[in-house]
Amino acid sequence: MAPVEIRDLSKHFGAVAAVNHLSFDIEPGRVTGFLGPNGAGKSRTLRALLGLVQPSSGAATFGGLRYDELDEPSARVGAVLEDASFHPGRSARNHLRVLAITGNHPPHRVEEVLSAVGLSDAADRRVKGYSMGMRQRLAIAAALLGDPQVLILDEPNNGLDPPGIIWLRGLMRQQAADGRTVLISSHVLAEVAQSVDDVVVIADGELRAHGPLEQVLGGDDGPATTVRAQDPVRLTRALERRGHHVDRDGDVLNVLGATPEEVGKIAGDEQLSVLGLAPRTRSLEEAFIALTGVQS
Amino acid sequence: MTALLRAELLKLRTTRTFAAVVASAAALSLTLVVLGAALGKETKAHALFTNSAITYIIVILGAIAMTGEWRHRTITGSVLAAPNRARLLAAKAISYSLAGIALAIIVTVPTIIVGELVLSGRGLATLGAGGIADVLWRNLAVAALLGPLGVCVGALVRNQIVTVVGLVIIAAAIEPAVFQAVPEVGRLLPLAGAPGGVLGGTHGDLSPAPALAVMVAWTLTIFAAAAWRLRSRDLV
């Protein structure tokens, strides 16, 4: 049973289907990116998973149990939501102490997570004086308080400065390396591409792609290879004779339907010099646009 | 439930609003009682010390606490920490019941001590031990029930300004007007009618025991409605 299971989940608001028969699993020990354009249904899905909205049908569970069925949920699941907010008149330490008491976590965890997110020195200041990045760090500290097996992060990079983003990336990788499950929703695709092992792409509330990042980037067009040739005209003819589609840009050829090994063998058979040879993958942005139909 | 209650009490203790309101209420109440005891021509000690206006502050505090969860958008975090929403509401309601008792003690005890000294100095009748105990239980009972009532009304309405202004208008204008027009109905109402009966108010009020039962019924009914609404509400 997967740590996170979405089964035929739908959420309707009147006639509008925010989430429409969505199904996927999230595996442990991996960081999974949850991607989709604005209004795709990402936040609704995460909120259904966390018991904050009632699904119209289907289920979103942690190993088969709804969030509100978990014993000590904050020890199983840590969540950072996009609009994480705190009472402005209370300090970070006070907020975490309240959460520690509620979740039956030992008091020393408060100091540990404050230190982990770099807020120890500001822990007794009232939150209303915090920057957005500091609030985000406090939200992450709250999520880590129960040392959970599953981390749900909805746009966690909001407000973080570059060192903070690098720190968060390291945290997610470490959590996954420890065998935990990390699900991150983000619109910063370049950042996601550097952080995740798997991706789930949704649009209009429906699943568009799910799998390892390399597989999703590869698309459904088969392998593709970028090759730089000393005689691009002759190599183009040779490749086309063997049924490959070639897009030529100067001395660089993009060959569809062929692996680098196949292109290299064809060049060798024709006794043509190859100056560079690499598999061609789509960027995450290209894959995202192709899968969701959304243009920038 | 114990952990939730401890967490709510910690929130309450460490939020400046509560401390500021308690201090202000105690100072205001002390001032009013001293003036009443020192200047009143036919001062009745019991009426002087059952100060319903001060006690009603707890209903506002309870409402501010609950609506603050939406105003500051902390309700999502609260529900994530305690996904059983009815228990979350119960913990907050109980914490404001205890806060009401604390507020009533902090406000009532100093005013009784000072007021009794002033009345005694003027040679007027004082309460005595039995009278003091009677005043105390009435004030404490009303505050213990009005705190949760404010929390539950806040959970139903959610908008802080609408809730606070609405409670003040109902307590200060609507319920007294209903009481004037139809006393049999007015004395059963939750914010002024039934509490007035518990505190020992005017002619026409319920006697304390039935009035207390009416207050309990109101609090439980509004809690049930608020818990049902909170459980079925999407937190988007």
pLDDT digits (tens, 9 = 90+) for B151-191: 999 999 999 999 999 999 999 899 999 999 999 999 999 99
CA distance from start to end of chain B = 26
Q: CA-nearest residue of chain A to B76?
A: A52
Which pLDDT does position B30 carry in this prediction? 81
Phi, psi (deg, nearest 5) at residue A224: -145, 150
Nearest Cα neighbor of B31 from B84, B95, B107 is B107
Which pLDDT does position B27 carry in this prediction? 84
Residue A14 has pLDDT above 80, yes or no: yes
CA distance from start to end of chain A = 38
Is A87:A29 a contact under the CB 8 Å cutoff? no
pLDDT digits (tens, 9 = 90+) for B126-136: 888 888 888 88
Which pLDDT does position B232 carry in this prediction? 92
Residue A102 has pLDDT above 60, yes or no: yes
Judged by CB atoms closer than 8 Å, whether chains meet at B235 and A53 is answered as yes
pLDDT digits (tens, 9 = 90+) for A252-262: 998 888 888 99
Judged by CB atoms closer than 8 Å, whether chains meet at A87 and B15 is answered as yes
A chain contacts of residue B82, beta-carbon cutoff 8 Å: 102
Least confident of A219-223, B208-212, B219-223: A219-223
Rounded-to-integer distance, Cα B66 and Cα B167, Å: 14
- The encoded tokens of residue B202 equal 């005017």
Instruction: Say whether residue A98 is in contact with chain B using an 8 A CB cutoff.
Output: yes
pLDDT digits (tens, 9 = 90+) for A183-242: 999 877 777 888 899 999 998 899 988 988 877 776 666 778 889 989 999 999 999 998
| A167-182 average pLDDT score | 94
Rounded-to-integer distance, Cα B168 and Cα B175, Å: 10
Rounded-to-integer distance, Cα B86 and Cα B109, Å: 34
pLDDT digits (tens, 9 = 90+) for A23-62: 999 999 999 999 988 888 999 999 999 999 999 999 999 9
B chain contacts of residue A81, beta-carbon cutoff 8 Å: 76, 80
Judged by CB atoms closer than 8 Å, whether chains meet at A89 and B10 is answered as no
Nearest Cα neighbor of A27 from A145, A196, A190 is A196
Kind and range of the H or E element at B170? Answer: none
Chain A, chain B: beta-carbon pairs less than 8 Å apart:
76
Nearest Cβ partner of B79 from A43, A52, A84? A52
- Predicted ipTM of the assembly: 0.86
B chain contacts of residue A89, beta-carbon cutoff 8 Å: 15-17
Which pLDDT does position A59 carry in this prediction? 95
Judged by CB atoms closer than 8 Å, whether chains meet at B74 and A85 is answered as yes
Judged by CB atoms closer than 8 Å, whether chains meet at A83 and B7 is answered as no
Instruction: Say whether residue A53 is in contact with chain B using an 8 A CB cutoff.
Output: yes
Which pLDDT does position A171 carry in this prediction? 93
Instruction: Say whether residue A93 is in contact with chain B using an 8 A CB cutoff.
Output: no
B chain contacts of residue A79, beta-carbon cutoff 8 Å: 80
